[in-house]
Structure 1
Amino acid sequence: MLRGRDDECRSVRSLIDDVTSGGGALLLHGEPGSGRTALVGYAHRHAQRCTVLAGSGLAEEAALPYAGLQRLVDPVLDRAAALPEEQRRLLRRALAGDGCPADRRLTLSMAVLGLLGAAARDRPLLVTMDDVDRGDPQTAEVLAFVARRLRPLPVAVLLTAGVTAAVDGIPAYRLRALTEQESAAVLTDRLRSSARPEEADRLPERPAASVLTALAVVGGGNPQALVDLVAVLSPGQWRGEESLPAAPPADGVLGRAYRARLDRLPPETRRVLLLAALDEGGGSGMIRAAGGEVEALAPAEVAGLVRVEPRGVTFPQPLVRTMIAAGAPLADRRAAHRLLAGALVADGQRLRRAMHLAAAATGVDPTLADELEEAAAGGADGWATASAALCWAAELSDDPARSAARLLTAARYAWAGGQPDVARLLLDRLRPACTDPDVRSRADLLLGELELRCGDAAHASARLLAAAAAVAGTDRVLALSGLVRAGEAVCFAGDQYRYAEVGRQASALRRPDDPPATGLMSSLVAGVAATLRGDHERAGPALRRAVVLGGRLTGPAATPTALSCAAAAGLVVAVDGAAHRLADRAAAVARDRGELSMLSRALELRAVAEYWLGRHEAAAETSRDGLRVARATGQVNCANVHLGMLAVLAAVRADRDATLGRIREMGEAPTAGSRPHALAGWALAVLDLADGRHAEAADRLASLARLGTGRGQVLVQVMATPYLVEAAAHLPSRPTATAALAVFDRWASSTASPLRRALSARCHALLAPRGGPEAEQEFQRALRLHPTDAGTFERARTELLFGQELRRRRRPRDARTHLHQAREMFTLLGVGRWAEQATTELRAAGESVGPPDLPAARLLTGQQLRIAELVAEGATNREVAARMFLSTRTVDHHLRNVFHRLGIRSRTELARAFATERHVGLIPDR
């Protein structure tokens, strides 16, 4: 299977299948290793009904006119007898090496065309020439001429060439780089392939997902690079236990191909090209190191290896830079690094200069190690670069203790930059040789955080608690940070009973004069610990203090970690607006500083805040963003939380397919009792509730936590309590719902949140005796408490449930008032399933109800309205995306919501609806 080449394979099949009704040609061009030769092989396998003539361009014969043509047509030269005498003589002369006069090239080209036509009389003919641009140019010219004149003949021509080659008049495909998923598939395909059984014996295990991701990056989307990497990986690298290669092997198939290209360049071009490849900045430093001789790169530019621009030298394909550096002799690389270091003195680029010197070093150099450490401090040049610099510093150190400390910092920087696998490998290097207990404990804190985000959260909490206790005597702030992470781990894993130990350790570290960032961590832990034991009188003040302190953070103290702590405190104490602002700020700071390790967590908190604020679409978009970040940085636990949140949001909209799809994406990773597992259960329960399966919904929600034991997802169950009560209201026995509501009430009454209190009142109304005054009083109280600026969906749910209650009490006129409100709000929110329920209730209350009579301008958001207008005018989704500077996927998503909200099923209906509303003036003409 040729991964990522579906379009090209389809075109090749079409070219061959249609050959009997008229010939054609196709050009495939791309980088070495991109799959051109594989596609030629695919064509040969598909051409079972054809005679095949196959050739390839050889650089060794590039100076021999028509050498490639001679090898290609030699099998059918006996058909030359059918050619006119003049053409036959000229063809034989050219193929014998006597060349062809310039004024006779047309005749020669017609002779080749006639020869191929004669060879195809009995059976269709497929002609392939791989690497046509590498061989002699005369052959390429003749084949291009022939390829443009095949329509009357049963002949198909398939040519391949490099990226700079072009043949006018025939269709061409540029082979793109493979995606990460396609690259991973190539790697696993190669391992399973019987073509190289020794690889399967050497690498018998399925590779770690993180290894596939990292190799996809190293391979640069080049299929041959990926195959070459598999050939040199050790079992430890395949399992993720050893560092992976930084580049495909220089002696692999791809490396040899690039070396052959480079060998054809002048020596001075190769020298300057190596400088450009080693200079990541690609600017003035390289130009000075080259002595201003950038003109020497002209042959490399013609060959498509580089692009020389006024601001510097760039590589159109990043893999080219990698292969040039990997294939150069060590002595040449060191010399180039020294030149670049000397050229960067005047630029003030201290870190880049030091790294070039480190790459040129041949032994320990404590002075250079110190310079690398100082220049990399704080990751100003990027966390990945800073991590690499600290690795160099560790290698250049003559003191094992300093080397260990620098490796630890390198691991911390790698994690900050979203490279957990690199961080874990550096910690693995550090731990066996490190004898300093303080460094080992700090390494355990970092490893615990990696496990929390990317591995076994239950194991992470124990490691973090032990490591925090070990460093408490030397670094109290670091110990507090570790306890915050330990608290996250016990909550994620559903072991809330262990939070008491987190709170006990944090209490011993608290000081009254702590700065805001430290004080808010202490307050968060104290507040959450009190909340989980039901002591809301102590929890509320501590959590509010954390929120206030978070709002005061400025400058370097306003880290993504500190702001996220404050946001988490805000969510627990139900100050949703403040929590959203803090989480949004945490995400912005994380992006600005490149701290990808914290970005997904900040987005998780922001999505939860948006859920409580009733901004469900915004919450879904935030979770999708968080999911992308989590997957890109290997944070499987964070990814599953975002998937769980997306499942809940889809279920709230009664979108069964989307809900189940998100849950399937989690796979088997979430363990029972974990937060993602609980979110999935909540989502499935909401679907059960929407379908009237009340007992199933109640059972699912009751199982989220075991009240009184501290086990399970207590905080998720509190969020889901309104759904649990609604399901239980239809059942004869309700002890679990009553107990859960008591927990919810104690929390809600300790907050200043009108929404939480409104939900509490609604729950009491649902559990009140049917037909009595208590239910109506509680529903009325809930509607008074519902905020007007947030939670529109929850208010609509209350209106619907109150309307149902009144209708069942045979008060249809009163019921219709609330049911109309619910139906209109659900319609405006685009929640069709709930709007249908309100419609059903209205009909049961004696009202004849048709489609919503609201104009599109009220039903749609501003962006949705603009997309709908463009589609109604006939624009495709791709055209809408281009005009509105959106992705096609975003347009698809909004258009589905437009159809849902307007109750239509096609673009034709959309155009008709807009034409009608413009006619009556409901939508203004633009």
Structure 2
Amino acid sequence: MMVGRSAERSRLVRLVADAKAGRSRSLVVRGEAGIGKTALLEYAAGVAGGMRILRVVGIESEAEIPFAALQLMLARDVERFDALPAPHAQALRAAFGTGSASGDRLMVGAATLTLLSELAGEGPLLCLFDDVQWFDRSSADALLFAVRRLHTDPVGAVFAVRDGERPFPAAGIDDIRLPRLGARDSAELLATVGPLPQPVADRVLEESGGNPLAIMELARSGTAALPSPVAPLAAVGRLEEHYQLQVRALPSRTRLALLLVAADHGCELWSFLAAAERLGLGADDLEPAEQMGLVRVTGEAVEFRHPLIRAAAYQEAPFARRLAAHRALADVLSDPRDADRRAWHAATAAGGTDDGVADELERAAERALARGAPAAASRALERAVQLSGDPAVQARRLVTAARAAYDAGLLDHAATLAAAVTAMTGPALAGADPAEGGAMSGNVAWVQAEAAWIRAQVAYERDSPARACELAIDAATPVLTADPARAISVLIEAVWCARDSADEGLLARCGEQLGRVRGGPPEVARALGGFVGLLSGRTEEAVPPMRDLLLAAGDGGMDATLEGLSAGFLGVLIGADDLALKVLDRQVATMRAQGALGWLPYAQEPLALAQLVTGRFRDAEANVAEALSLAAELGQDLQAIVLTAISCCLAAVRGEVDTARQQADLVLKHAGRHGMAAAQATWALALIDLMAGDPHAALDRLDEVCAGPPGRDVTVRAIADHVEAGVRAGDLDRARRHLPQLASWAGHTASPAAEALLLRCTALLDDSREAQGHFEASLAVDGCGLHDRARTRLAYGEWLRRHRRPTSARAQLSQALATFDQVGAYGWHARVRTELVALGGPVPPADTAAAEQLTAQELQVVRRAALGLSNREIAAQLFLSPRTVGHHLYKAYPKLGVSRRAELAQLDL
């Protein structure tokens, strides 16, 4: 019987009803032990009706076993794995220890999403998760990833989490915290136990403090036998004391048997009996505990009635007895399927250094990594370090633990471990000459480099790209000659961090380091050196090696690599837009296919920037929206800011001024951390000024954008806007300030986009009749993007109107308006319409393209459907459920004016 909790029960009833109606809902229920979380889960099960229920209870002793909770949840559905898309089936088999490596840790989450959607296709599904604080990290991550993306599936999920234990962050999911019962509800609950003498009833109510389990347990045991505290105790503390008293009352042999159960709760009955025999115990030694109702024995396992009983049984035992219990369990768990549990029992039983057990833990970590569970791998390696006797082995294992923690998204912990490695290996490097090797062994150099690289990667998110660059340079130094390929990999990140921070001093240091590398992939090193040169103003020497790397990547030999991503973005910087977009699009597609979710937000950034500057605004919007969602999931806070800067530019072009200003404010708060993102946000604000007819404000902003490294990066194209702002403000000297930079870029890159922009600028600065030829030449350039061409038509139309050629002006302005509509650049509508009104006659109505009516995710879905992909294939690529894909198509068809999937191929999407 449940007393009280009417509001909470109503929430659960709504959750179940919504799930049955195809509106997926999730809820986290938090509270102290005994507060009624499990009772609410039981209530949810009771109102579920005909829903299938998946129920999992977290087990403390399995909190370090990779995917232990997920295995419990999906054990009955293993045979369904083969019907899933191949990457998802592989990921789940790896999680269950029956397949090869799954790749990215969140790929298991994507696979869980697909499987839950499949199960829900047979009928509504209710997932009830209890004691989630004891879920292993890999299972928790997979489940959270899945439920956040269940939108139109008939699935409900409730997570019950106990306060005061391991944290369970669940951003984006509703949660409620259960308070203690009030006096009236407490008395009503107490009455359900049976009549008690008033003094006893008063004491139960006083000591329980409104905790339901405490009320029930204290009432049933007889409060008079309990010691009277001097001051009221917390209910949970009183419960622990209550269970400890019960355990102490048991015979010594029963307490030892209970300890054995507590050491590995949930283990099979046979393993308990085998371990008990090693301790000289038998099955009958559990009987007193059974009679007291502390445990129950089934045909498969021994289970505690409540987790706090297990805690009391374990904590009451002397330390030596605990070690003996774990040792006995390690001795009997000989099945290869129990290798991870055996390793942890052996490690818990180890009193000091034990290299054999450390080796077992390292093998357990390797298995965890192969299954996509880096958090479990990191924890196993940390314990292995404590048991290792060789300092060199300790350092290697510790840095591997740090890398696993980073891959698990535990950034702060990864940095702590990496710093410990640096402190540990520092003396080994003292006095060594990195160029000569000296006393520095290759292994120590690798460990030191890896530790510094991890710290650099964490610093990017937690501190700033500038700090990350400094640490990455430190990471490359020990391996410049010992491992040049690795040194270049590290320096790629160092160069990008120097670029992000817009720091010319750091760029110079990166250039020096690249010059010291001997060996490794030479075209990559030369291209990076060229990139540094470009951002430092040496365009002539920079372009050839950058183009060489782009051409090499264009041949398809660098898929899903840092080198490939760098090649694609360097192509954007030299204006080789078509090939750069092809390379970047392929990089992202390969990462999707490989399930490299952790890399996607970083890969989608250069792709979205390339789409932004070439006028593919809808594509950019879709990429940014997805990347922002993943960055939030992965805790990539600074990357989210970078992506917001791109979103800010898109909002500005689309005329969503309020959104653009809000996003710009957010980005500019971090201007000191990420100079390039700040420059992009400032560029967006300048575009808003230009659209609104305020060239003076635009000019001031664009002076800031076009100076230094930002003016030589993607935002080199903002120089054309700077020229326009200067001309419209009547300040031709300022308008020409950065033009040599644009001319140099156009001259050395031979980029069609650069040539067209330079010709537009030349026309704007020349108000004579010669300007017409420059405008016409700009429009004749083959390879210029639609948006840039429309901007040129707008400027040309304005010039023609001023020179009293209304017919030609109207033609150019009407074409500009149509193109702005086509690409979704609605922010320019007001200026075009103002010019058309001034010319007199009718103003063409807006002609929004069909694709413009779709949301970013609908557009992604529709495009893939138009290519012939099934809902399941689309879902696998976009990390959605197949049912959600179907929902997006259902919403998109009326907007597009189609009724069948086959008609999509005929549309311009």
The TM tier, using the shorter chain, reads 0.5 to 0.7
Q: Name the CA distance, whole Å, in 2 between partners of 1:865 and 1:646.
A: 17
Task: Check 1:521–1:325 CA distance in 2 against 1; reply closer, same or farther (3 A cut).
Answer: farther
Indicate the residue corresponding to 1:365 in structure 2: 354
Counterpart of 1:405 in 2: which secondary structure?
helix
Indicate the residue corresponding to 2:736 in structure 1: 738
The reply to whether residue 779 of structure 1 matches residue 790 of structure 2 is no
Indicate the residue corresponding to 2:534 in structure 1: 531
CA contact (8 A) 1:62 1:134 kept: no
Q: Name the CA distance, whole Å, in 2 between partners of 1:866 and 1:632.
A: 20
Q: Name the CA distance, whole Å, in 2 between partners of 1:565 and 1:322.
A: 54
Indicate the residue corresponding to 2:428 in structure 1: 436
Task: Check 1:700–1:344 CA distance in 2 against 1; reply closer, same or farther (3 A cut).
Answer: farther
**Could you tell me how far 1:778 is from its partner in structure 2?**
2.1
CA contact (8 A) 1:57 1:132 kept: no
* Aligned partner letter, 1:358: A
CA contact (8 A) 2:262 2:314 kept: no
Indicate the residue corresponding to 1:757 in structure 2: 755
Indicate the residue corresponding to 1:390 in structure 2: 381
CA contact (8 A) 1:465 1:486 kept: yes
Q: Name the CA distance, whole Å, in 2 between partners of 1:320 and 1:615.
A: 59
Indicate the residue corresponding to 2:547 in structure 1: 544
| Structure of greater Rg | 1
Q: Name the CA distance, whole Å, in 1 between partners of 2:176 and 2:476.
A: 55
Indicate the residue corresponding to 1:522 in structure 2: 525
Q: Name the CA distance, whole Å, in 2 between partners of 1:577 and 1:272.
A: 65
Using the size of structure 1 for normalisation, the TM-score is 0.60
Q: Name the CA distance, whole Å, in 1 between partners of 2:714 and 2:856.
A: 33
Task: Check 1:333–1:804 CA distance in 2 against 1; reply closer, same or farther (3 A cut).
Answer: farther
| CA deviation string 1:380-428 (max 9, x = no partner) | 2333233223222211210122212221222123223332211111123
| CA deviation string 1:586-645 (max 9, x = no partner) | 556666777666443222122112223422233233223333444444444322211211
Structure 2 counterparts to residues 525-924 of structure 1, below 5 A = 525-550=528-553, 560-587=561-588, 598-666=599-667, 668-671=669-672, 674-707=675-708, 714-751=712-749, 753-767=751-765, 769-770=766-767, 772-785=768-781, 787=783, 791-849=785-843, 851-852=845-846, 885=884
Q: Name the CA distance, whole Å, in 2 between partners of 1:474 and 1:866.
A: 45
Number of residue pairs the alignment of both structures matches = 668
Q: Name the CA distance, whole Å, in 1 between partners of 2:240 and 2:385.
A: 30
CA contact (8 A) 1:338 1:360 kept: no
**Could you tell me how far 1:883 is from its partner in structure 2?**
10
Q: Which moved more, 1:758-767 or 1:402-411?
A: 758-767
| Aligned mate of 1:479, from 470, 482, 487 | 487
Q: Name the CA distance, whole Å, in 2 between partners of 1:574 and 1:68.
A: 86
| Aligned mate of 1:64, from 182, 185, 194 | 194
Structure 2 counterparts to residues 35-46 of structure 1, below 5 A = 39=179
Counterpart of 1:885 in 2: which secondary structure?
helix
| Aligned mate of 2:371, from 362, 381, 394 | 381
CA contact (8 A) 1:641 1:679 kept: no
Q: Name the CA distance, whole Å, in 2 between partners of 1:782 and 1:436.
A: 62
Counterpart of 2:670 in 1: which secondary structure?
coil
| CA deviation string 1:421-453 (max 9, x = no partner) | 111111233333432223445433332332234
Structure 2 counterparts to residues 299-338 of structure 1, below 5 A = 335=325
**Could you tell me how far 1:675 is from its partner in structure 2?**
1.7
Q: Which moved more, 1:615-624 or 1:642-651?
A: 615-624
Q: Name the CA distance, whole Å, in 1 between partners of 2:6 and 2:662.
A: 25
Q: Name the CA distance, whole Å, in 2 between partners of 1:722 and 1:575.
A: 18
* Aligned partner letter, 1:656: V
Relative contact order higher in (CA < 8 Å, ≥ 6 apart) = 2
CA contact (8 A) 1:373 1:389 kept: yes
**Could you tell me how far 1:842 is from its partner in structure 2?**
1.7
Indicate the residue corresponding to 1:215 in structure 2: none
CA contact (8 A) 2:797 2:813 kept: yes
Using the size of structure 2 for normalisation, the TM-score is 0.61
CA contact (8 A) 2:484 2:517 kept: yes
CA contact (8 A) 1:530 1:538 kept: yes
Counterpart of 2:730 in 1: which secondary structure?
coil
The reply to whether residue 496 of structure 1 matches residue 504 of structure 2 is yes
| CA deviation string 1:151-195 (max 9, x = no partner) | xxxxxxxxxxxxxxxxxxxxxxxxxxxxxxxxxxxxxxxxxxxxx
**Could you tell me how far 1:834 is from its partner in structure 2?**
1.9
CA contact (8 A) 2:480 2:518 kept: no
**Could you tell me how far 1:858 is from its partner in structure 2?**
8.5
| CA deviation string 1:630-679 (max 9, x = no partner) | 44444443222112111111112221221122234347333187122222
CA contact (8 A) 1:384 1:413 kept: yes
| CA deviation string 1:453-503 (max 9, x = no partner) | 431333333343344234323222232233222222221221125423322
Q: Name the CA distance, whole Å, in 1 between partners of 2:409 and 2:393.
A: 25
Indicate the residue corresponding to 2:470 in structure 1: 462
* Aligned partner letter, 2:387: L
The reply to whether residue 448 of structure 1 matches residue 445 of structure 2 is no
Q: Name the CA distance, whole Å, in 2 between partners of 1:664 and 1:257.
A: 56
Task: Check 1:432–1:867 CA distance in 2 against 1; reply closer, same or farther (3 A cut).
Answer: closer
* Aligned partner letter, 1:795: R
Task: Check 1:365–1:525 CA distance in 2 against 1; reply closer, same or farther (3 A cut).
Answer: same
Q: Name the CA distance, whole Å, in 2 between partners of 1:10 and 1:812.
A: 68
Q: Name the CA distance, whole Å, in 2 between partners of 1:397 and 1:628.
A: 41
**Could you tell me how far 1:252 is from its partner in structure 2?**
6.7
Q: Structure 2: where are the runs of 5+ without partners? A: 13-35, 42-159, 164-174, 221-233, 276-285, 430-444, 863-879, 899-905
Q: Name the CA distance, whole Å, in 1 between partners of 2:661 and 2:818.
A: 28
* Aligned partner letter, 1:885: T
Q: Name the CA distance, whole Å, in 2 between partners of 1:829 and 1:322.
A: 64
Indicate the residue corresponding to 2:155 in structure 1: none
Task: Check 1:867–1:627 CA distance in 2 against 1; reply closer, same or farther (3 A cut).
Answer: closer
CA contact (8 A) 2:343 2:360 kept: yes
CA contact (8 A) 2:631 2:640 kept: yes
Q: Name the CA distance, whole Å, in 2 between partners of 1:674 and 1:564.
A: 21
| Aligned mate of 1:29, from 40, 43, 46 | 40
